[in-house]
Amino acid sequence: MTRPVKILIALVVVAALGAAGFFVFEYFDHKGKIKDAQRACGTTYTTPTPGVALPAGLDFTVPEGQTLWQTDKQGKTEIVYTFLTGTRADLVKVRDAVVDELKSQGFSASATDQEPTYEAEGKFSGKVSGTIQVQGQCQGFVRVRYKFSL
């Protein structure tokens, strides 16, 4: 077997393994999102963290109907989690409503990706820029994650 044929076979094998890994990841990622959305809520997923408040300097208001749940910080990135009533079937509709709300607050916002019943995503820019992710939180509730890049 010549060297170019061996290289070609190696490339095909690596590509096949990469594709297989991707599909396995996607399968388990979707299974996890479905499992999360179907778990019982209890108070863990529907009670705001004590003392939670929006980070200073965002010039952002939590949209009506959403409850501020948690905040987090990763370097200069502020992360805000909210929840609202809804189901996996509502994810795209919720994302679109969030995009409209961000526009009304002076941001430039758009939908970017969606996998109906798994997640819906968007992005925004303006005063600050960032991303939106909408996923099932638990039975009867949807979680919205806002990432603000400061």
Number of domains in the chain: 1
Cβ(40)–Cβ(138) below 8 Å? yes
Whether 34 maps to a domain, the answer reads no
Q: Specify the CATH number for the domain of residue 99.
A: 3.30.530.80
- Evaluate whether residue 59 is within a structural domain: no
Mean pLDDT of all residues belonging to the chain: 84
125 part of a folded domain:
yes
Do the domain assignments include residue 61? Answer: no
> Is the C-alpha dihedral spanning 142, 63, 131, 45 positive or negative?
negative
pLDDT band, very low/low/confident/very high, at 99 (cuts 50, 70, 90): very high
In a domain, 130, yes or no: yes
Tens of pLDDT, residue by residue over 14-64, are: 766 665 555 554 554 455 555 555 567 777 778 898 999 999 888 899 999
- Host domain of residue 116: 67-149
Cβ atoms of residues 84 and 69 within 8 Å: no
